[in-house]
Amino acid sequence: MTNKIIEFWFDFASTYSYLTAERIEAMAESNGLVIAWKPFLLGPIFKSNGLVGSPFTSNKPKRDYMWRDIQRSAKIYKIPFISSTVKMPQNSLLAARVALCLDDGAQRAAFTRQVYRAQFAHGKDIAELATLADILANLGHQAAEILVQTQAAEIKQQLFANTADAQTKGIFGAPSVITQDGELFWGNDRLEDAMAWAVK
């Protein structure tokens, strides 16, 4: 029997997606599931749903709570996290394009995890070429080659298509997980429910 696929939809600028990126691989493995790594852009979806930007940007009490909540959750999960130096919101466009230049599997998974770590454990700006080049080099990739590749029309089109696909599937936020039978789960706090659904 082939393993079932679960789609993990993320925007690199999404704070709660960091927690899911850190947790999903071990959970998928123990449930016999294969992850499809799906970078997309929340911005156009927010706009299309009538939002000016992320609710965390415009709503200060919600943003303050979010940082505190992620800090508590990271402690429970034993995930490194510093909020004090995290720039927000980050521009996730280039990181998403890099992710699409890498194979959907171990390569994209490792890159994704490192981008989130750079942002939330080390306070880096993920829109900077240097941040992404360092991550790529540390993972053994030809950084310059991949950064050039991000500007190809095909990669830009893939990100556009992923975002359109996300919206078609009902996604309005990140992290989102979609099981093979099409069930949508939104939020890091629904990851356990998504796993249970996927294997039932």
Closest to a copy of itself by CB, 51 vs 139, is 51
Residues 53/107, Cβ–Cβ less than 8 Å = no
Q: Report the nearest approach of a copy of itself to the CB of residue 170 (Å).
A: 5
Closest to a copy of itself by CB, 140 vs 182, is 182
The interface mask with a copy of itself, positions 168-187, x = CB under 8 A, is: --xxxx----------xxxx
The C-alpha atoms of residue 71 and residue 74 are separated, in whole angstroms, by 5
The C-alpha atoms of residue 138 and residue 187 are separated, in whole angstroms, by 30
State phi, psi for 3 to the nearest 5 degrees.
Answer: -70, 145
By the rule CB under 8 A, 77 interacts with a copy of itself: no
Closest to a copy of itself by CB, 67 vs 134, is 67
C-alpha distance from residue 15 to each of 58, 61, 82, 110, 187 (Å): 15, 16, 12, 18, 10
Neighbouring-strand partners of residue 33: 4
Q: Report the nearest approach of a copy of itself to the CB of residue 104 (Å).
A: 25
Give the one residue of 1, 2, 26, 61 binding a copy of itself; rule: CB under 8 A.
61
In 3D space, the residue among 2, 5, 16 whose CA is nearest the CA of residue 176 turns out to be: 16
By the rule CB under 8 A, 67 interacts with a copy of itself: no
In 3D space, the residue among 80, 82, 79, 55 whose CA is nearest the CA of residue 67 turns out to be: 82
By the rule CB under 8 A, 51 interacts with a copy of itself: yes
By the rule CB under 8 A, 59 interacts with a copy of itself: yes
The residue to which tokens 């454990």 are assigned: 121
Q: Report the nearest approach of a copy of itself to the CB of residue 183 (Å).
A: 8
By the rule CB under 8 A, 125 interacts with a copy of itself: no
The C-alpha atoms of residue 135 and residue 115 are separated, in whole angstroms, by 7
Q: Report the nearest approach of a copy of itself to the CB of residue 45 (Å).
A: 8
Which residues make up the interface to a copy of itself (CB under 8 A)?
49-51, 55, 58-62, 64-65, 68-69, 72, 76, 167, 170-173, 184-187, 189-190, 193
